[in-house]
């Protein structure tokens, strides 16, 4: 019994390592050749998991083979566009200028219901508001609303908004995020000082502290329900 | 991207090297037990029972030491077949049963050959 348990744990680790070795794209955006790898890895791990008479290597080696194939195919696809098109396919335009491309729909076996569903998922409920719909190689349908139906952007209004970049979490659950401190060219002494100003004796008392690109510091203490947002630097001083 | 390719190439090298080494090791073990089956058959045919008993005991003890490592590389059923053939051979030698010994020797020979043949890198196995 323990053997099966330990083997399962080891195969879980091996599958996890294999997935990590293949990179982040595996999880969210599967191309056809990646989908094959994911399905096969699940199957390969399951076979020796329960069969104590089968060496673990019989599960791990095929996984290694898949990692090798995947790594090499991915590299080849990056280098040769034609191979990529052959293995992953090309985007197919299903709707152009508000007109449904019936021939293309039939060719890729997407029916009108699928197209309507994709429009609704994109937040467009009226087909007359759609300019272009594209079936991506990954199988999702992207929808571009007509220019007069899409939400207004600052550039439509002639505005030039201030850059709104990624905020830097500086303390998470009492732990200082040194990488982010370095990125923002800030010191731990400065962080302590700001925490003290906000009424915290030590940084361990802080649940979350985050600096945004407008120079505002958001602080929430552990076990507290209130937050404070204070301007600690000028937006021009923001360097990340 | 570069990391993925590096991992793939390193893994490929490890698998090829591991494959060559294990295949070589399996061939040696297989050859050793095929030779053992031949040796025991000769001893049994000549009815040299005390020597046959001693030789079979040595091979059985050696096999028992090798089994845990072999089971990491090949199917347990294959190692079990050799273990059974050796046990059968020893019992037949103790009983001075010539037909039983010859049958067990043939079984040991085939099972030992199978150790290597089953996973050998051949076209027949690949296909």
Q: What does the pLDDT look like over A148-206, one tens digit per residue?
A: 888 888 888 998 887 788 999 999 999 999 999 999 999 999 999 999 999 999 999 99
User: pLDDT by residue (tens digit) across B11-20?
Assistant: 889 988 988 8
User: pLDDT by residue (tens digit) across A110-119?
Assistant: 999 999 999 9
The confidence band for A29, taking pLDDT boundaries of 50, 70 and 90, is low
Pick the residue of A48, A50, A75, A76 with the most B CBs within 10 A to test the interface with B by mutation: A75
Under an 8 A CB cutoff, do A54 and B15 touch?
no
Domain A92-145 has CATH 3.90.1150.10: no
Domain residue extents for chain A: 2-85, 92-145, 168-237
What residues form DSSP beta bridges with A219? A209, A228
Report chain B residues whose CB lies below 8 A from the CB of A52: 76
pLDDT for the residue B84? 94
Sheet holding A130-135, edge to edge: A99-100, A92-96, A130-135, A141-145
Under an 8 A CB cutoff, do A75 and B8 touch?
yes
**Alpha-carbon dihedral of residues A97, A102, A104, A106, nearest 10 degrees?**
160
Complex confidence, ipTM: 0.71
User: pLDDT by residue (tens digit) across B96-109?
Assistant: 999 999 999 999 99
Phi-psi region of A109 (alpha: psi -120 to 50; beta: other; left: phi over 0): left
Q: Which of A26-30, A99-103, A184-188, B62-66 has the lowest mean pLDDT?
A: A26-30
pLDDT for the residue A23? 65
Report chain A's mean pLDDT, rounded to a whole number.
86
The CATH code that applies to domain A168-237 is 3.30.240.20
Which of B5, B14, B76 lies nearest to residue A71, judging by beta carbons?
Answer: B5
> Are both A92-145 and A168-237 of the same fold?
yes
Under an 8 A CB cutoff, do B1 and A65 touch?
no
Report chain B residues whose CB lies below 8 A from the CB of A56: 72
Pick the residue of B11, B26, B75, B119 with the most A CBs within 10 A to test the interface with A by mutation: B11
The confidence band for A32, taking pLDDT boundaries of 50, 70 and 90, is confident
**Domains of chain B, CATH where assigned:** 27-126 (1.20.120.290)
The confidence band for A98, taking pLDDT boundaries of 50, 70 and 90, is very high
Distance CA A16, CA A3 (A): 20
DSSP 8-state assignment for residue B118 = T
């Amino acid at each position: 019994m323990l053997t099966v348990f330990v083997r399962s744990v080891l195969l879980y680790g091996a599958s996890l390592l294999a997935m990590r070795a293949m990179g982040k794209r595996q999880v969210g955006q599967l191309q056809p050749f990646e989908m094959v790898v994911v399905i096969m890895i699940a199957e390969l791990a399951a076979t020796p998991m329960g069969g104590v008479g089968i060496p673990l290597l019989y599960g791990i080696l095929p996984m290694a083979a898949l990692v090798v194939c995947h790594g090499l195919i991915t590299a080849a696809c990056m280098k040769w566009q034609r191979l990529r098109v052959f293995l992953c396919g090309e985007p197919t335009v299903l709707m152009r200028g508000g007109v449904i491309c019936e021939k293309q729909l039939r060719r890729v076996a997407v029916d009108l219901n699928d197209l309507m569903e994709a429009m609704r998922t994109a937040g467009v409920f009226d087909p007359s508001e759609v300019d272009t719909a594209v079936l991506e190689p990954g199988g999702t349908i992207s929808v571009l609303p007509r220019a007069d139906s899409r939400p207004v952007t600052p550039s439509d209004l002639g505005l030039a908004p201030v850059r709104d970049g990624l905020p830097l979490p500086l303390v998470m659950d009492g732990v200082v995020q040194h990488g982010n401190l370095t990125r923002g060219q800030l010191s731990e002494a400065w962080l302590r000082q700001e925490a003290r100003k906000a009424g915290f004796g030590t940084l361990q008392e802080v649940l979350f502290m985050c600096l945004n690109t407008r120079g505002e510091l958001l602080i929430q203490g552990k076990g507290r329900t209130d937050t404070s947002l204070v301007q600690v630097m000028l937006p021009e001083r923001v360097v990340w | 991207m570069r990391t993925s390719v590096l991992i793939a190439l390193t893994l490929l090298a490890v698998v090829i090297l591991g494959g060559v080494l294990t295949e070589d090791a399996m061939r040696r073990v297989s050859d050793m037990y095929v030779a053992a089956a031949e040796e025991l058959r000769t001893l049994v045919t000549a009815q040299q029972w005390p020597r046959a008993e001693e030789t079979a005991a040595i091979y059985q003890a050696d096999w028992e030491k090798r089994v845990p490592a072999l089971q990491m590389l090949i199917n347990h059923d294959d190692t079990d077949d050799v273990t059974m053939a050796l046990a059968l051979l020893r019992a037949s030698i103790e009983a001075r049963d010539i037909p039983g010994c010859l049958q067990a020797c043939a079984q040991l020979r085939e099972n030992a050959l199978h150790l290597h043949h089953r996973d050998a890198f051949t076209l027949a196995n690949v296909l």
